[in-house]
Chains A and B, each alone.
Chain A
Amino acid sequence: MDTQERLKLKKRYEVLPDEALLEMIAEGKDAYSPGAFELLVEEKEKRGIAESHLVQPSVTCESGEDEVQSEELPSEQYIALAIIVEYKDYEYAVSLLKNSDVLYSFEKLSLKGAQFPVSLIVQEKAVKKAIALLQGFKPAGGMVFW
């Protein structure tokens, strides 16, 4: 992993909610390209969070080829579709998208460093598909942008 990739990943991991970070770590080192798993652990240690908070599978982009592809995509190609303020809605959004080929992720938005709200971001070219999958999704206290 070169420095640029490392920085990109580091930045990305910094904005993940605690739960998402722990879920990714739970997938194990073999699930990641060399160096990526160590960055996850480093971020976890920096936050001082315990793995007992683990609850759900990964909420970042789908694994395998797509994940590599998403890392290489510039941020301009992603747009936000929703603001989510509760964990249950975040879980629900994951459940709607995780089995699709839509690349998605979550970004922390709180100015005070809180875990929520987060924005759900999807690859711009997959917006229509994502919206179709998310039809009826109405995050409590949050907002959708379509």
Chain B
Amino acid sequence: MRIVGKVVFIIFMVLSLLVAASAEEQPSPSPALYQKGITFAAEGKFREAQEEFKKALEVKKNDSTSLSSLKVLRDFEEGTINKDFTLLFFKGIDLLVQNQPQQAITELQKALLIKQDYVRIYNILGMAYASSGNSEQALTHFKKALQINPSYTDAIYNLASYYASLENYQQALECYQIIIALDPDSADAYANIAAAYAALDQYPQGIAYYQKLIALNPQNGHAYYNLGLAYFMTDDFFRARESLVSAQKIFQQKNDQENVAVAEAYLEKLKQFENKWGSPGGS
């Protein structure tokens, strides 16, 4: 079951480093894969780190942590950042992933003394401050990243996720809308907008975004599932059932038994609900 709310947002932000709720259907790579890469990189074993990140990408081709880490290592190879900076950068990430945000901030601030115009460090610092509970510094650093590169969607995602984690869904929505303005095909942004509307109990708006998400990828079982829940919340049981059945079929086609069971369980609850209360909405 896809859960909407601050817990998902904040955990995802800390662990995956980049985006909030993903619209992807691929399995997540084992955290151990990119964790190993980060540890290697923090020890200066950059080649080994690259191999680990590539392995993680074999499991999930657009795993944001691995992609982002490889870009940093490429920047090192190209001379954009030096070895000391790169080491401190990955030490910071390593500590952040180990849930030691204060120590991470210390290492990242040391890196910042070496180079002040590297956009990614402000994004990571924003996350570290967010994890440490320093809201003001978190927002300052995400915005600093955007001052350097306003189309840096990773920072916009994290800013949005942070707003959502603070239950400031309106601000989160504005950030996600900007991502869509930058890239109208951003499925993750549609998924997050729909989730934010749901968190605000604005289900009709959420439904519209789940529909857009489905238009982008008609095989997105999670989108159908969440659409079903949103219809349920608007008392449109007919469409709720329709969407949940679609989700169930897609999960079956993908042999995703866990989510088949989740969809079936909800369909059963819906049936009980209809038996008890009737079906006031839909046709």
Chain A: residues with CB nearer than 8 A to chain B? Answer: 76, 79-81, 83, 85, 107, 109-112, 114, 116-117, 119, 141-143, 145-146
**Complex contact A116–B147 (CB within 8 A):** no
Contact B181 A110 (CB under 8 A): yes
B150, CB-defined interface residue at 8 Å: yes
Contact in complex: A80, B181 (CB < 8 Å): no
B133 adjacent to chain A (CB < 8 Å): no
8 nearest CB pairs, A to B: A119-B150, A80-B150, A145-B143, A79-B147, A109-B151, A111-B183, A117-B181, A145-B147
CB distance from A65 to the nearest CB of B (A): 26
Interface contact tally, CB-CB below 8 A: 53
Q: Which of B28-71 contact A (CB under 8 A)?
A: none
Q: Given A80-B150, A83-B150, A145-B147, are A116 and B175 also a contact pair (CB < 8 Å)? A: no
Complex Cα gap A58–B83 (Å): 44
Q: Verify B178–A117 contact, CB threshold 8 A.
A: yes
Contact (Cβ within 8 A) B175 A143: yes
Determine whether the beta carbon of B147 is less than 8 Å from that of A80: yes
A80 proximity list for chain B (CB < 8 A)? 146-150
Complex contacts, B146 vs chain A, CB 8 Å:
80, 83, 143, 145
Closest to A86 in B: B181
Chain B residues with CB under 8 Å of A110's CB are: 181-183
CB contacts (< 8 Å) of A111 on chain B: these are 151, 182-183
Residue pair B143, A146 in contact (C-beta under 8 Å):
yes
**Bound Cα distance A141, B193 (Å):** 13
* Chain A interface mostly: loop
Q: CB-CB < 8 A to B174: which residues of A? A: 141-143
Query: Which of B148, B156, B178, B182 makes the CB contact (< 8 A) with A79?
Result: B148
Interface size class of B (residues with CB under 8 A): 10 to 19
Contact call A85/B143, Cβ cutoff below 8 A: no
Is B117 part of the contact surface with A, judged by Cβ < 8 Å? yes
- Extra contacts, 20 of them, besides A109-B151, A110-B182, A143-B175 (Cβ < 8 A), are A79-B148, A80-B150, A81-B147, A83-B146, A83-B150, A83-B181, A85-B177, A109-B181, A111-B151, A114-B181, A117-B178, A141-B178, A141-B181, A143-B156, A143-B178, A145-B144, A145-B146, A145-B147, A145-B150, A146-B143
Asked if B184 CB lies within 8 Å of chain A CBs, one says yes
B151 — which chain A residues lie within 8 A by C-beta?
109, 111, 119
In the bound assembly, the distance between CA atoms of A119 and B146 in angstroms comes to 10
The complex places the Cα of A27 from the Cα of B146 at a distance, in Å, of 32
In the complex, A143→B145 CA distance in Å? 13
A-B contact pairs, 30 of them (CB 8 A): A79-B147, A79-B148, A80-B147, A80-B149, A83-B146, A83-B178, A83-B181, A85-B181, A107-B150, A109-B150, A109-B151, A109-B182, A110-B181, A110-B182, A110-B183, A111-B182, A111-B183, A112-B183, A117-B181, A119-B150, A119-B151, A141-B174, A141-B177, A141-B178, A143-B156, A143-B175, A143-B178, A145-B144, A145-B146, A145-B147
